[in-house]
Structure 1
């Protein structure tokens, strides 16, 4: 029978991997920066398993993601910055602080609140508490509105966070229709850059168009990452249908005109793919 391990066993395992005397050569070479790409990859693999409803693999992927946290904790302990226990303690304290509707007296074991808050009230409390936390950081040198929006986020997700943060100080459109007008304005500027043949301007205006589209998604309550991910999947399904028909024909791709391929695509749409 396989042994059942605990989080303490995982922390011990990590310390062995980083032990200069008999540890793993690869693990010993790593630092905070070098394992960031692996952390991002593991997070995406968790998201992918959930999206595919692949529950058997989700267990493994969550373990891989947890290992990333343990790795950072070991590096923190070695540099005397923090360790796993301080990570957990700070996290619990923050979550208790950010959920006064669950922990009304501000302690982990406080009795339940007398009244259940609405979703809007919970959101307002959350934003107020996060603002208080940001103000606390200002005293430590984080003084600008956008300073602590992580730069390593995927571009669409970071755009949303930048826009939300600016919105909290009143810098925002108050109507989705105005954002649509802005998108049309940016598209006109993109067309002009294309006509001028200025590739640097094209790239700049293309970014403006995408940023404005993210803004519209935010105003409409749509997560742009989720929207594009869904469109990617839809494209894969429909293109797969087109490819199946090309393969069944026995002809090469080059023997089909774009109109003929579009007909397959329209068939895929009609089938709800």
Structure 2
């Protein structure tokens, strides 16, 4: 049996198991698209964690969880007569073919940038009124800012040089500082948002994923702070009983950890 046959056999097994669970398991039978939604979001975040950790075994497991949810939604869709797994697969296949005319048609492209521009033009041709319609409303703000900037850059609305974005960031920082000195909280928040948006834009020009960058810092901080907690416990103290100078000694030690 070749690799493709094994993959198809595995998918058939999963579809069969889903049919059996939907029929025989009280929990699975009770689920709706609405009840699964928050679970699906959680599974995608867990996949994201595994990817950040470079844990291929965990990535495999989490991909399985995400795939199960896709099959689950498709099963529910088949029960209402709206769509099934075949419809889902064909829909994405048709979209990929239509949006890759440089592969399945006679369009010529020079590089990745051309591909992205064509992608956005094709989407507008499909009836979308704005290139930003494809940005989910419920995305976390940091990720949403990245996607917004990617989308508009895809149709040419972008800075030409990273230095221009850096200058814009400096401008936004100065405006934020002025509002902080003025002490008007609403304006401070607005200018802080502009600073973050500009920083995310600058990161894009440097090919840095801001979400990944911030999560790396989160993980680093957690690791160092938990080291501080352990050291405090070893010295029979709570953090509340320690001075900042005492805590700083352990914090500096934590910074030397691999």
Deviation at 1:200, TM superposition (A): 3.0
Of 148, 152, 156, 2:138 maps to: 152
Distance change >3 Å, CA 54–CA 163, structure 1 → 2: closer
Quick one: distance in 2 between partners of 1:28 and 1:255?
A: 51
Distance change >3 Å, CA 98–CA 125, structure 1 → 2: farther
4+ long deviations beyond 4 Å: 16-19, 96-101, 103-106
- Give the 5 Å matches for 1:110-189: 121-138=110-127, 142-189=128-175
Quick one: distance in 2 between partners of 1:180 and 1:264?
A: 35
Q: Is the 8 A contact 1:73 1:83 kept in 2?
A: yes
Q: Is the 8 A contact 2:172 2:195 kept in 1?
A: yes
What is aligned with 1:110?
Answer: none
Distance change >3 Å, CA 163–CA 38, structure 1 → 2: same
Structure 2 unaligned regions, length at least 5: 1-8
Structure 1 position 220 matched with structure 2 position 206:
yes
Q: Is the 8 A contact 2:74 2:88 kept in 1?
A: yes
What is aligned with 2:14?
Answer: 10
- Give the 5 Å matches for 1:56-71: 56-71=57-72
- Aligned pairs, how many? 250
Structure 1 unaligned regions, length at least 5: 107-116
- Give the 5 Å matches for 1:1-273: 6-19=10-23, 24-25=26-27, 27-31=29-33, 33-98=34-99, 121-138=110-127, 142-269=128-255, 271-273=256-258
Quick one: distance in 2 between partners of 1:64 and 1:39?
A: 9
Q: Quote the RMSD (CA, aligned, Å).
A: 3.0
TM-score (normalised: structure 1) = 0.77
Deviation at 1:164, TM superposition (A): 1.8
Quick one: distance in 2 between partners of 1:219 and 1:54?
A: 28
Q: Is the 8 A contact 2:99 2:122 kept in 1?
A: no
SS of 2:134's partner is coil
Quick one: distance in 2 between partners of 1:41 and 1:201?
A: 34
SS of 2:137's partner is coil
More contact order relative to length (CA 8 Å, sep ≥ 6): 2
Quick one: distance in 2 between partners of 1:205 and 1:194?
A: 9
TM-score (normalised: structure 2) = 0.81
